Amino acid sequence: MMYLIGAFLAVSIITLEIILFQKRSFYKKNVSLIHRLNKNLEILKALSFLTSSKASSLSEDLQQLAIYFSPQDLYQDFTVVLLKDTGKGIKGVLRYHYNQSLESKPEIKEDSTLTKAEDCYLNKIENNFSVVGDSSSSVYPLAALFPLRYSSQNWGVLMVFATNDFSKQDLDFLKAVSGVVVLLLKKFEFRQSLTDGEQVAGVDQEW
């Protein structure tokens, strides 16, 4: 009888240990996911303040935007590519890369990675976003692409490179970031098209 009880207890304890082990690994996974999501949210909160920033140039705002995407941190790389319709096709005109100034690489055509990604973007322009693998690059195997557009106006694409798969939450997060970039682009479009006085008159309209 005693041996039976002893065996029962031993089996119970082992079973519990297994459950506990599973729970622990599940919990650890949850903690890292929560950390990631919370970090994404914090970045978005910080970015939303950019929309009201009074920076004098687009590059100043993009620099600020890129600071949140440290290479050691969430994503391998952060790139904004602006495309324009030349009438004979769409051509890359502007590129902002983390740690590189806007002026240093004005053309994207020479960069094979970006050209490939640009093709993918053009092929899937109807989608809200596309995720593609770039086998030619061992450093950046994955890129997420987000069209930068407002209404029917297309500016280009936001590209983010990563070594691991993008999760649904990553895509939600980056989609929201692309919206912030659109607002920044729109802001500078208004600055170019309207004088300060006209802008004040514009926002004074009753809504």
Partner 1 sequence: MVIFLTLGLVWLIIELVRVFLLWKKNRRALSALVKSQEELGYLSFIFSEVFAQKYPVEVIFPKLLNRLRESLGWTYHSIFRLDEERQLMIVRFTGYLPDWYMEKFSTKVLVKVGDAAIGRAVSTSQPVIINASIVDPRFKSVTQVAQQTGYKSLTCCPMIGRLKVYGGFCAYSQYENIFTLHDSQFLLTCAYLYGAILETILLQEYLKKKDK
Can you give the binding site for partner 1, defined by CB under 8 A?
2, 5-6, 9-10, 12-13, 16-17, 19-20, 23-24, 26-27, 30-31, 33-34, 37-38, 40-41, 44-45, 48-49, 51-54, 128, 149-152, 169, 171-173, 175-176, 178-180, 182-183, 186-187, 190, 193-194, 198-203, 205-207
54/88 with CB nearer partner 1: 54
CB of 139 to partner 1, least distance (A): 27
40/79 with CB nearer partner 1: 40
CB of 164 to partner 1, least distance (A): 18
CB of 68 to partner 1, least distance (A): 14
106 secondary structure, DSSP code: -
Neighbours of 171 (CB within 10 A): 16
38/123 with CB nearer partner 1: 38
Can you tell me which residue has the tokens 């929309």?
51
Tokens of 21: 């082990």
- List b or e across 44-62, with b for residues whose CB sees 16 or more CB atoms inside 10 angstroms: beebeebeeeeeeebeebb
Can you tell me which residue has the tokens 């983010």?
160
20/139 with CB nearer partner 1: 20
Tokens of 194: 């309207």
Can you tell me which residue has the tokens 């082992």?
14
The answer to whether 79 touches 98, Cβ cutoff 8 Å, is: yes
167 secondary structure, DSSP code: P
96/146 with CB nearer partner 1: 146
